[in-house]
Structure 1
Amino acid sequence: MAIKKRGLVLSATAVAVSTVAVAATGLHFYQGQVFLRSQSKEVAAEEGSLQPMAMLSLQSLFRQSPKELVDEVWQIIDRTYVDATFNQQDWKKIRTEYLSRSYKDSTEAYKAIREMLKKLGDPYTRFMDPQEFKNMQIDTSGELTGVGIQLAADEKTKKLTVIAPIEDSPAFAAGIQAKDIILKIDDKSTEGMDVNKAVTLIRGPVGTQVKLTVLRGDKQLEFNIKRARIEIHPVRASERTAPQGKVGYIRLVQFSANAPSEMQEAIKKFEKQQVAGYILDLRGNPGGLLYTSVDIARMWLPKGAIVSTKNRQGEQDREQANGRVLTNKPLVVLVDGGSASASEILSGALQDNGRATLVGTKTFGKGLVQSVRSVGRDCGLAVTIAKYFTPNGRDINKHGIDPDVVVQLTEAQRKDLSSNRDKVGTPEDPQFAKALEVLGQRIEASRQQSPQADRKS
């Protein structure tokens, strides 16, 4: 069974909100939710069908009892959660416990649901109240306002961790880096705080400021960041020069809805310019839409598997290349610790199929699948329902993808590139310089294998 394209979202962080930045961890099946596409503004409902927003809102009116909401959430977990042992919990006993309680209002039910879900020990299975769910919808629509941070709750420490700042965002300009741990938001401690709460505190009107206190290594730093409207152009392409000829450099910053069309345009332009090879830069890319990663993989892969998923019954969905490759030129992919989820699907597919050489550092390691849907009156629920695997069957969750060529940046180099963005993707960028060297070797090898084809290119 093929993975449904409509409503599938992949990303790196633990929650999807416009004010902090991009989307949620792992591979997200947005079925049964109110899901806004950024361009077409389609609303995806159960099984990927389309229903008017008014119909969904009308249906929600019939689910007003707080106790019914608690049971609705319990039922969804019972049917779909990836761990059939429910973290070694007696899930039926838990239902009896929470349905025996009295709830005065929705707020008490929300608190009980979060308490119930916490027993699963899974920070990515989470409940969203109406405001939090609205935040997620805004994010998925691609209309971002805030500081531009991809935020996650670390699976082991539960600390709020920055996946990566969005390029050219206020957080990026202020110097926020991947792996920074957020200790305080406007002097309020984040100890024990979930991601949804942190998002609520960080977001705010455009032009206002938020103070973030972060831990970087053993140093505590403070950043005063002004909130802004953030425009994301996912593909940034420019020509580079190597001893072997012209090189197409493509930096992909997010797997958003318009990324495939921009990627296609960039590749076709470079093919007309007869570049000798490509460098695809996925560093700091936290993920995005699943179908975007699949569509882009098909532009580079002539054949082969791209990604598969496995639920608690062991069933697998698989996506394949479809013969619509746009180029067979040599390819090198840049990755780092901020490359997550959709970035890992794309880079893993290219690596396992022998299509590209990966250069940089180990990727983030988010291989979990969530189903996100509407529950109750305008609330949302994200449930971990499966894992995704690379074409060779690698489970990269918590480990990440190891590059073929490791190039570590020193702290000084990292700071230099952060403060001088014009150096990124140039010989002054150590990882890019190595990628260019590796690409040159691949171009030479390609020419030796097929000199006639090279002369015609």
Structure 2
Amino acid sequence: MSKKVFAAFAALFLLLSLVLMLPLLDREERAKRSEAEYLEMFREVVGIVKQSYVDKVDDKKLMAGAINGMLAALDPHSLYLPATDYTEMKVHMAGAFGGLGIELEMRNGKLMVNAPIEDTPAFRAGIQSGDHIWTIDGKPTADLNINQCVSRMRGTPGTSVTLGILREGNPAPLTFRLVRAVIKTKSLKGRLLEPGYGYIRIAEFQERTGEDFERALKTLAADNGGPLSGLVLDLRFNPGGLVDQAYRVANRFIGEGLSSGVIVTTKGRDPSMERSLTATIGDKEPGYPMVVLINGGSASASEIVAGALQDHKRAVIMGTQSFGKGSVQSVMTLENGDGLKLTTARYYTPSGRSIQAKGITPDIVVEFAKPASKDKEKEKGAGKEPEIREENLEGHMGEAPARPAKQPPANPHHGIPAAPQQKQSGKEVKEQDLLKGDNQLARALDLLRGVNLIKASGRR
């Protein structure tokens, strides 16, 4: 081939390449132009609002509203967190803070004590449920919201705070000078329902939940005088929390091995960021039968646990359809100290299921039956499930395509609804009374007894 012919082919190839690239370059240019146009439009709208709105506009409030609107257009779980809210979220998930140990609520604009937490400064000083906290360090609480009141009562352990209390039956105000201490909130409670059968309720997955769960299992075995015959894990009204703690709970029951021990897989937009958490080698619970209770208030991390135990056939899932929040949020700290909670991935159960906008379907459906009550007002909504699930939230992400299905391993032998608040009397509820008032829990215990009865019959 002559140099002239080669040069002609090269020129033709270059021309064709440019022609083919023109649409791509044009699209990129249009995208850049479109983005620039929208930013210019945003600046224009901000200028008009600041110039013409009926009242003077606070720049910070305006920008925060714009950020919130942008995130709300993505999905219901992506949020902007101002510094105070961000700090409160971190304190809540840590499950420990410097404070007094009081559960608070606002009633008709009054700061009221819901209950003192046992073995805390407030409990030891004699703060009572129903007390009205009308001053904190001499300053009235009437014009403060509950977050402002909480921030004034929290502080460095060893420092003091003085509360002014109005108590029904006391004609004069009471004054309590309390010294702050480290308050540790408990995300779970455990007890024996009857000899051999344990019960653990996890209200939320916080930083110490996995550690507390392992401790609760050992305590139940010690109280029982030996290994349990069965366990009920109650995840009803559990809105989720930290995925690593949900993994740690599930890891106590799922076998080892990379191929069969997958507990949860997360997958984002970048395929290279796909990540699977698998069971580790170490202490595992004996292969006693197990029931996990879920309902429409069970979301996110609680669905990870339920889905993993269901796919591995390690537990029977009982109750009603879970919430269906199959997305993962990453929390990032902004330069000014505020926080950004952004949806960055979906999670999948060991068999490849995405439960986004679907939820975990129980193996045995048991609706909650409200106990009969003479007080009709108290009976309303008692134990009632939230009627809103992920699929009902405006702007929710659609159901994700299922990952390639994997065979589950053989049997080695699932802003978000909160649980109805109940005042604590300070006395432990008797197990028999607990079962009478909770038909789902009673059914779970009956199932565990039945499984063990069948096993015992087979050995004869």
Which one-letter code corresponds to 1:249 in the other structure? Y
Maintained 8 Å contact 2:234/2:294: yes
What is the letter of the counterpart of residue 243 of structure 2? L
Change (3 A) 1:310 1:231: same
Q: Which one of 264, 268, 277 corresponds to residue 319 of structure 1? A: 277
Q: CA offset at residue 132 of structure 1?
A: 2.4
TM-score after normalising by structure 1: 0.56
User: CA offsets, 1:257-286, max 9 Å, x none?
Assistant: 222222212223444523211111112222
Alignment-derived partner of residue 91 in structure 2: 138
Per the alignment, residue 442 of structure 2 pairs with 433
What whole-Å deviation, never above 9, does each CA across 1:16-49 have from its counterpart, x for those lacking one?
Answer: xxxxxxxxxxxxxxxxxxxxxxxxxxxxxxxxxx
1:199: Cα distance to partner?
8.4
Code of the aligned partner of 2:251 = R
Task: Give 1:200 shift.
Answer: 5.8
Which of 128, 137, 158 in structure 1 is aligned with 2:81?
128
Alignment of 1:226-375 (within 5 A): 232-241=185-194, 246-272=196-222, 273-303=226-256, 304-314=261-271, 315-324=273-282, 325-375=284-334
Q: Is the 8 A contact 1:263 1:296 kept in 2?
A: yes
Within 1, Cα distance between the matches of 2:360 and 2:202? 18
Contact 1:302 1:321 in 2 (8 A): yes
Contact 1:427–1:433, Cα closer than 8 Å, also in 2: yes
Q: Does 1:400 align with 2:363?
A: no
Q: Aligned pair 1:422/2:380, yes or no?
A: no
- Once the two structures are TM-superposed, the CA of residue 307 in structure 1 deviates from its matched residue by 0.8
Distance 1:377 1:312 in 2: 27
The answer to whether the 8 Å contact 2:319/2:364 transfers is: yes
Deviation at 1:445, TM superposition (A): 4.3
The number of equivalent residue pairs is 302
Q: CA RMSD in A?
A: 4.0
CA distance in 1, matches of 2:202, 2:307: 16
Distance in 2 between residues matched to 1:148 and 1:330, nearest whole Å: 39
* Aligned-partner residue type, residue 63 of structure 2: A
SS at match of 2:435: coil
The answer (yes or no) to whether the contact 1:330–1:442 under 8 Å persists in 2 is yes
Paired AA for residue 333 in structure 2: S
Structure 1's 359 and 441: CA in aligned 2 closer, same or farther, altered over 3 A?
same
**Greater fraction of residues in strand:** 1
User: Does structure 1 retain, via aligned residues, the 8 Å contact 2:103–2:116?
Assistant: no
**3-state SS of the aligned residue for 2:69?**
helix
CA distance in 2: counterparts of 1:200 and 1:354, whole angstroms: 43
Cα deviations across residues 331-373 of structure 1 (Å, max 9, x unaligned)?
1111122222111111111011100001112222211111211
- In structure 2, the partner of 1:382 is 341
Q: Whose Rg is larger?
A: 2
- Match of residue 223 from structure 1: none
Asked if structure 2 preserves the Cα contact closer than 8 Å seen for 1:371 and 1:382, the reply is yes
Q: What SS does the aligned partner of 1:133 have?
A: helix
Residues 148 and 230 of structure 1 are in contact (CA less than 8 Å); yes or no, is this contact kept in structure 2? no
Evaluate the alpha carbon distance shift between residue 436 and residue 302 of structure 1 in structure 2; reply closer, same or farther with a 3 A threshold: same
**Structure 1 residues 111 and 419, CA gap change in structure 2 (3 angstroms):** closer
Equivalent residue letter for 2:275: D
1:365-403 Cα shifts (integer Å, max 9, x gaps)? 211111211113111111111111111222222222121
Contact 2:239 2:300 in 1 (8 A): yes
Which residue of the partner structure matches residue 395 of structure 2?
Answer: none
Check the 8 A contact 1:299/1:327 in 2, yes or no.
no
**Residue 412 of structure 1, CA deviation:** 4.5
**Cα distance in 2 between the residues matched to 1:340 and 1:167:** 28
Q: Deviations over 1:121-141 (max 9, x none)?
A: 422222222222222232233
> Greater RCO between the two (CA within 8 Å, min separation 6)?
1
Sort the Cα spacing of 1:372 and 1:255 in 2 relative to 1 into closer, same or farther, 3 A: same
Query: Helix, strand or coil: the match of 1:427?
Result: helix
* AA in 1 matched with 2:444: A
Cα distance, 1:395–1:94 mapped onto 2, change above 3 Å: farther
Which residue number in structure 2 is paired with residue 442 of structure 1? 451
CA distance in 2 between counterparts of 1:110 and 1:409 reads 41
- Deviation (angstroms), 1:148: 7.4
Deviation of 1:110 (Å): 2.2
Equivalent-residue separation in structure 2 for 1:347 and 1:235 (angstroms): 16
SS of equivalent to 2:286: coil
Calculate percent identity across the aligned residue pairs: 30
CA contact (8 A) 1:271 1:327 kept: no
Cα gap change, 1:255/1:117 in structure 2, threshold over 3 Å: closer, same or farther? closer
Partners of 1:96 and 1:307 lie apart in 2 by 43
Give 1:236 deviation, angstroms: 1.8
Is the 1:424–1:432 contact (alpha carbons within 8 Å) kept by the matching residues of 2?
no
